[in-house]
Amino acid sequence: MLAPVLHVLPLTTIVRERLLPVLGKVNARVNQRVNPTDIVAEANFAREHVLLDVARTFGISAVAADKLIRVKEGDRLTEGALVAEKSGLFGRSVKAPRAGRVMVAGGGQVLMEVGDTRVELRAGLPGMVTQVIAERGVVIRTSGALVQGVWGNGRIDNGLMVSLLEKPDDILTADRLDVSLRGSVILGGHVRDVETLRVAAELPIRGLVISSLLSSLIIPAYQMRYPILVLDGFGALPMNSAAFKLLTTSNKREATVNAEHFDRYSSNRPEVIIPLPVSTEPEEPNSYEAFAVGQTVRMRRPPHAGAIGSISNVHPGLSSLPSGLRARAADVKLENGETVLVPLVNLEVVG
């Protein structure tokens, strides 16, 4: 049976697409080295549109109105600019209600986009641009440590990572956050109150990597302007030992926290990347493998949720579980020496 792989890797090659949400202009070129804060692409997009019904305003047919329209697709208009004009004794005009750009004109109507918003896409991680995706963004390749999580608040930033974590089940509280942490990426444990998130925002910090979050804090977490990456899930869960070991030993290193949403139908997954210099580029990791004896695995569900172990036996056929269900299962030797029977669908390979 095939196994999904959770990446917790001290050194690997990381290839990531960075794409604009709308079409725009790509500033970077192939083989260009980029820093996390470099703007690799940018776009202007309108959040609103205005439909000017010239035909209705003038009380004429669409064909007649088209002849009176003075603007064409692509024209940039200032507020009050003339859009259409009807001459005569009681001449009337249609003017642009706001500054904007004409998207389409015809059928007696003019559609304008207004309220331009500028979007700047930052590289997010240091590395080499290996591909330019026209009008959308770039592919960046780098080497370093990679730790994937399960939930993110949709933001990305980078900074020096400072660990406040002493043991995997630590709780991060507001009183542990002081001004010395300003501009850092903080590595913490379980967060259970909104005050911790608020104090972190006030410092401000550049990112928060935590083991777990109370589900009641999901909405406030979305409101924070810094990235929040949850590694193990919701409720009071300790950090899995593989991530704990790797991240606590990377204290004071530059880290990128990409807390993008976990999209099950794309490759997007929240993660922390710690870039590292290499002389020889390591191989890219597999995203899935077949379950096999000797693999390091993480348990996804109770009673050992988040625990790391090693597969000692993959049972042939179906096994009876303590729940009463029957499923493909493996014996997993936990780090405390205990061996437990776990359904394969509740496991992910760590690697």
Among 35, 216, 249, 313, binds other proteins (CB under 8 A): 216
Among 201, 305, 314, 334, binds other proteins (CB under 8 A): 305
Confirm if 330 and 281 have CB atoms less than 8 A apart. Answer: no
Site string for other proteins, 226-265 (x = CB under 8 A): -------xxxxx------------------------xxxx
- Of the candidate spans 103-111, 164-172, 246-254, 274-282, the one that interacts with other proteins by CB under 8 A turns out to be 103-111
Binders of other proteins among residues 325 to 344 (CB under 8 A) are 325, 327, 342-343
Number of Cβ within 10 Å of residue 273's Cβ equals: 26
H or E element, residue 49:
strand 39-53
Q: How far is the CB of 350 from other proteins (least distance, A)?
A: 13
How far CA 212 is from CA of 177, 222, 234, 342, in Å, comes to 17, 15, 5, 22
H or E element, residue 92:
strand 92-95
Looking at the chain, list the stretches that DSSP marks H as alpha helix, in order from N- to C-terminal side.
54-58, 62-68, 194-202, 218-223, 241-248
80 makes contact with other proteins (CB under 8 A): no
Single-letter amino acid code for the residue at 327: A
302 makes contact with other proteins (CB under 8 A): yes
- Of the candidate spans 27-35, 182-190, 215-223, 251-259, the one that interacts with other proteins by CB under 8 A turns out to be 215-223
Among 83, 124, 269, 274, binds other proteins (CB under 8 A): 269
Q: How far is the CB of 116 from other proteins (least distance, A)?
A: 14
Question: Which one, of 187, 205, 197, 188, lies nearest residue 253 by Cα?
Answer: 187
Among 60, 81, 99, 104, binds other proteins (CB under 8 A): 104
Q: How far is the CB of 286 from other proteins (least distance, A)?
A: 9
Confirm if 191 and 217 have CB atoms less than 8 A apart. Answer: yes
301 makes contact with other proteins (CB under 8 A): yes
The strand pair at 109-122 and 39-53 is best described as: antiparallel
What's the distance, Cα to Cα, between the start and end of the chain in Å? 17
Size of residue set near other proteins by CB under 8 A: 50
Site string for other proteins, 164-203 (x = CB under 8 A): ----------------------------------------
218 makes contact with other proteins (CB under 8 A): yes
Q: How far is the CB of 9 from other proteins (least distance, A)?
A: 14
Q: Which residues bind other proteins (CB under 8 A)?
A: 1-2, 4-5, 22-23, 47-51, 103-104, 111, 150-151, 214-216, 218, 233-237, 262-269, 287-288, 300-303, 305, 321-325, 327, 342-343, 345-346
